[in-house]
Chains A and B, each alone.
Chain A
Amino acid sequence: MKKLISLTVNGKSYQIATEPNQTLADLLRYELGLFGTKKGCEMGDCGSCTVIMDGKPVNSCLVLAMQANRRSITTIEGLESEKGLHPLQQAFAEKGAIQCGFCSSGMILSAKHLLDKNPKPNEAEIRSAISGNLCRCTGYQKIVEAVKGVRG
């Protein structure tokens, strides 16, 4: 049976009726039209569905929409501001860290969380922070360089 939940997504409040077996990834994509959150393996392996929930990056394919009730979600669409792209988005584009783009949303959100906690990460810390995000274009080197370019 559908139940009403309220949540904040990218700073905006929503009230939505959702089925218990709907995942947060599906809610974001199909109810809110936020297709920046990708669905890859749907098993928690690939990280393409990464979103930040209450300040922590998680696999939205493993979270039920109902578990996001009264929580705050940031998706890739929430990073751009009136000033333009987020520095990480800009760096990914400039450094060639985006190839097919499927992993980029998750990579950028994991990297953003790292930089928010630790503005000057070393290379090992960057690689560890994105270790739950898989890139199948073999683009890790450029991704790491893009993140390095943004650190304080």
Chain B
Amino acid sequence: MLLPKFDFHEPLTLPEACQMMSEFGRKARPLAGGTDLMINMKKKIVSPEHLISLSRIDELKAAQCSGNMLKIGSCVTVAELTESELVRKNCSALCTGAKALGSPLIRNLATIGGNIASARPAADLPPSLMAYNAKVVLKKSSGERLVLLDDFFKGPGLTELQADELLTEIQIETPPPYSGCGYINMGIRKAQDCNIVNVASFISLDAPDGLIKTARIIMGCVGPKHLRACSAETFLIGKKASEELFAQAGEAAMKDCSPIDDFRGSAEYKRAMVGVLTKRTLAMAYEEVRSEN
């Protein structure tokens, strides 16, 4: 299967890469792990004239915690996320999502930045990242901006990224005390499978055994982009966590999604699974809150 023709560039620094992005604009595509882009190029869905490989830019490959901020470079691989003690400790649900992505072979190439920038409604990392309220740094030669991941996705394959911008970093404030997060992706197989429905839920309480202060529930595969279950979130605030409450939140979430019928499942089935996964991920989040105390 032939790849279309293109010029290949391999900048060693971020300023150099930004310079190339501003020079080539829409004619160029950044290349990270290539597990999405190579496929789309082989299928002739996209044929950029220039590929700007990010894989030699060391500053995009670090994950570090400074103060209460976890900063993950866009070219950190999914395999590295699964192995990072820093990620597991601060964002266990992101680790769960990373472990569920593709296969070991894909995880060794695929990057967190590529998973976000490709903006697939079924992708495994955005739900937990949005649940942790992550922000992304978008950079170009003339400056950078910080965008909430919630505002980054515009539709399938569509994002806030401008033609000359690179996603350089993911920023997550380390979760407050008495908080937890859970992620479940449901598919037919364990590996190499596109999700049927995936949900991440985050809650934080106002005291060790207190009331729910913050709730964020993100649903994948049930809309043109990852959706917030807003009415379920509102419903949870100020209440005491329980099985019963989580089941009711699941029912509310079913009304917050807009799935379609396709070969992976009927809209009705996906909606029902949103209810189940919301309930279960909330229970996982609560379990994490309790295990901390």
Contacts and interface: CB of A to CB of B under 8 A. Distances in A.
Contact of B2 (A21, A47, A62): A21
A58 B109 contact: yes
Interface of A: 1, 3, 19-23, 42-45, 47, 50, 56-59, 61-64, 66-67, 69, 110, 128-129, 131-133
Contacts of B102: 44, 132
Contacts, number: 86
Contacts of A56: 79, 108
B3 A23 contact: yes
B contact residues, range: 20 to 34
Interface in B1-35: 1-8, 10, 31, 33-35
Contacts of A45: 192
Contacts of A67: 10, 34, 53, 55
Given A44-B35, A59-B105, A59-B106, A20 B10 contact: no
B190 interface: yes
Nearest to A129: B104
A62 B5 contact: no
Contacts of A69: 10
Interface in B213-235: none
B105 A42 contact: no
11 contacts: A3-B8, A20-B7, A43-B42, A44-B105, A57-B104, A64-B51, A67-B55, A131-B104, A132-B102, A132-B104, A132-B106
B38 interface: yes
B5 A42 contact: no
Contacts of B190: 128, 131
B106 A44 contact: yes
A69 B55 CA distance: 11
A26 B281 CA distance: 44
Given A132-B102, A132-B104, 10 more contacts: A20-B51, A21-B4, A44-B106, A57-B108, A58-B108, A59-B106, A61-B38, A67-B34, A69-B10, A128-B104
Contact of B109 (A1, A3, A19, A63): A63
Nearest to B50: A20
Contact of A21 (B5, B34, B104, B192): B5
A47 B103 contact: yes
Given A21-B4, A43-B42, A47-B103, A62 B192 contact: no
Nearest to B105: A132
Given A20-B51, A66-B10, A67-B55, A50 B105 contact: yes
A17 B206 CA distance: 63
B148 interface: no
Contacts of A64: 8, 31, 34, 38, 51, 53
Which of A22, A50, A58, A66 has the most B CB atoms < 10 Å from its CB?
A58
Nearest to A64: B8
B46 interface: no
A128 B79 CA distance: 13
Contact of A43 (B5, B39, B108): B39
A42 B192 contact: no
Which of A20, A44, A129, A133 has the most B CB atoms < 10 Å from its CB?
A44
